[in-house]
Amino acid sequence: MTTAAAGSPRTYQVRTYGCQMNVHDSERISGLLEDAGYVRAAEADDQPDVVVFNTCAVRENADNRLYGNLGHLRPVKAKHPGMQIAVGGCLAQKDRGDIVRKAPWVDVVFGTHNIGALPALLDRARHNAAAEVEILESLEVFPSTLPTRRESTYAGWVSISVGCNNTCTFCIVPSLRGKEKDRRPGDVLAEVRALADAGVLEVTLLGQNVNSYGVEFGDRYAFGKLLRACGDIDGLERVRFTSPHPKDFTDDVIAAMAETPNVCHSLHMPLQSGSDDVLRAMRRSYRSERYLGIISKVRAAMPDAAITTDIIVGFPGETEADFARTLDVVREARFSSAFTFQYSKRPGTPAATMDGQLPKQVVQERYERLIACVEEITWAENKKLVGETVEVLVAVGEGRKDERTGRMSGRARDGRLVHFATGELAGQIRPGDIVHTVVTYAAPHHLNADGAPLAHRRTRAGDAAEAGQVPRTPGVLLGLPTIGAPAPSPAPTGGCAAH
């Protein structure tokens, strides 16, 4: 048992930035620390014994955000002997020892390939009273072999692959996460079954490029087969996935989505730009016609499908005509939601040194026009659902105004956010339960259902939420060269307990 003092377990806190992969990695980090004897710090505890930053290198100002937060912790650590700070994730993989040089009060730096080493690194740093920096260049242990403390009773992430074989010129992820590594289908399904057996209703299959899944073991139809196999798992009511890539999106996946009852009719399909010239400069190996063709096929198979996307504005060399083409594709695709970004340089990416970097005011003006176009469409699409009955999986933290309005919130099967009135069922509906209700109002980013629910189904996930329990899953092994937990470091001496 790792202890802060005699009989007192050391507490930890994980702070997560970035994508869904990072959110899932943080569940792994929490599971590892709890297996090593740490206890999660209370929400109000501003002096946990260990603070772990799981960082992102993709978002704008990621460096400034990290170092700002590290600066805020410096005086806290000075007043709290024994406190440790660890930095992991993509920014750690990129900056490595520079983190300790810029913030010498950091104790541990670990990368995207060696999450499993964190407890041992913390022990070593504490024993040696010196920073431990360990960055591996390739994956030794697939993250899903590690224990996990799940954050939700009703929804879970399941990694099917890590890394990416694409070479988009704006993206630093392949250099930080490495080449694509695929889990075997049996291992993925074992983890999904374990979650369903624990009462989880919804699983999201996760990867940098999920529909290239199978490339490592030579089956280009593996992802569609995996979706269909998820349809045979008892108790699993919703299956989602993110993110696919248009170049690898095949008709068999569309058929699997349409024909497997528990696969949700929601699709996140990154566009990035509607201009073929810009797509070529981005090294995105599809063109707008191919992209819109996929959207047409999806809608033909699933007329109720909600399609979301990512769009970058202001990529180097983007002309007004290029941007106009993006708006044309947005209008034709009729997205239910879009994650929109202003291009910003990422050191280490080819796009950062391209000619034609655009002035900030040009990018801002185009961005505002894109937002207006997207919201006009999403609002119109949402209005079509007024009067329709939706099935809502009740969630935690989705509605910022819920306490004030008396509503609860959750996601419809197509992924849309729904705020709903509880009526006479107030106090009886729990996160993880299923509610059927009628949409009464639509906004660009959400739906309201202000009438009494038509139906309420209590679930095992709701029971667990009410009891304050979350699923824990042990590692699910994968046939990589090295499997299992990392070898423990020698037991520390001088009064520090071994983990």
DSSP string, 351-407: GGG-S-PPPHHHHHHHHHHHHHHHHHHHHHHHHTTTT-EEEEEE-SSS-TTHHHHTE
User: Is 164 known to sit in a ligand binding site?
Assistant: yes
User: Is 230 known to sit in a ligand binding site?
Assistant: no
Please answer whether residues 442 and 383 qualify as being in contact, where contact means their C-beta atoms are separated by less than 8 angstroms. Answer: yes
Q: Could you give the CA distance from residue 77 to residue 75 in angstroms, rounded to a whole number? A: 5
Token pair 């679930």 in the structure block, residue = 459
**Pairing verdict, β 155-159 and 202-206:** parallel
* Number of other CB atoms surrounding residue 246 within 10 Å: 22
CA distances from 37 to 71, 171, 317, 468, 499 (A): 28, 37, 53, 20, 7
Q: Could you give the CA distance from residue 316 to residue 481 in angstroms, rounded to a whole number? A: 41
User: How far out from the chain centre does Cα 449 lie?
Assistant: 27
* Number of other CB atoms surrounding residue 188 within 10 Å: 25
User: Is 168 known to sit in a ligand binding site?
Assistant: yes
Paired tokens of 432: 């993880």
Using DSSP's 3-state secondary structure scheme, residue 255 falls into helix
Using DSSP's 3-state secondary structure scheme, residue 266 falls into strand
* Number of other CB atoms surrounding residue 321 within 10 Å: 9
User: Is 264 known to sit in a ligand binding site?
Assistant: no
Using DSSP's 3-state secondary structure scheme, residue 245 falls into coil
Nearest to 270 by CA among 358, 371, 350, 340: 340
State the amino acid at position 322 in one-letter form.
D
User: Is 373 known to sit in a ligand binding site?
Assistant: no
Using DSSP's 3-state secondary structure scheme, residue 451 falls into coil
Q: Could you give the CA distance from residue 284 to residue 286 in angstroms, rounded to a whole number? A: 6
**Pairing verdict, β 455-457 and 306-313:** unpaired
User: Is 56 known to sit in a ligand binding site?
Assistant: yes
Q: What single-letter DSSP state applies at residue 433?
A: -
- Which residues participate in the annotated binding site? 19, 56, 90, 164, 168, 171
* Residue ranges of the binding site for [4Fe-4S] cluster: 19, 56, 90, 164, 168, 171
